[in-house]
Amino acid sequence: MKFDTIVLGAGIVGVSVAVHLQKRGRSVALVDRKPPGNETSFGNAGLIQREGVYPYAFPRDLRSLLRYARNQSPDVRYHADAIFKVAPFLYQYWRNSHAVRHAEIAKSYATLIEHCVTEHRAMAADAGASALLRPIGWMKVFRSEAVRDAETRVAEKWHREFGVEYESLDATRLQQVEPDLDTTLRGALRYPASDSVSDPNALVTAYARYFDALGGRFFIGDAESLREGWQVHTEAGTIAASSVVVALGPWSDRLSTQLGYALPLAVKRGYHMHYAPQAQARLNHPVLDIENGYLLAPMAKGIRLTTGVEIALRDAPRTPTQLAAVEPVARTLFPLGKRLDDEAWMGRRPCTPDMMPIIGPARKHRNVWFAFGHAHHGLTLGPVTGRLIAEMMTGEQTFVDARPFSVERF
Report pLDDT digits (tens) over 272-309.
Answer: 999 999 999 999 999 999 999 999 999 999 999 999 99
**Residue 105: which H helix or E strand, with range?**
helix 99-113
Share of the chain above pLDDT 90, in %: 98
- List pLDDT tens digits, range 28-85: 999 999 999 999 999 989 999 999 999 999 999 999 999 999 999 999 999 999 999 9
Q: Are the C-beta atoms of 274 and 297 separated by less than 8 Å?
A: no
Q: Which domains does the chain have, with CATH numbers?
A: 2-44+201-264+353-409 (3.50.50.60)
pLDDT at residue 400 is higher than 90: yes
- Residue 228 pLDDT level (bands cut at 50, 70, 90): confident
Amino acid in position 284: N
pTM above 0.95, yes or no: yes
pLDDT at residue 318 is higher than 90: yes
Arithmetic mean of pLDDT, 148-174: 97
Residue 47 burial by CB count (10 A; 0-12/13-18/19+): exposed, middle or buried? buried
- Residue 86 pLDDT level (bands cut at 50, 70, 90): very high
Arithmetic mean of pLDDT, 210-233: 96
- List pLDDT tens digits, range 380-392: 999 999 999 999 9
pLDDT at residue 345 is higher than 90: yes
- Residue 215 pLDDT level (bands cut at 50, 70, 90): very high
Q: Are the C-beta atoms of 306 and 295 separated by less than 8 Å?
A: yes
Cα gap 209→216, rounded to integer Å: 9
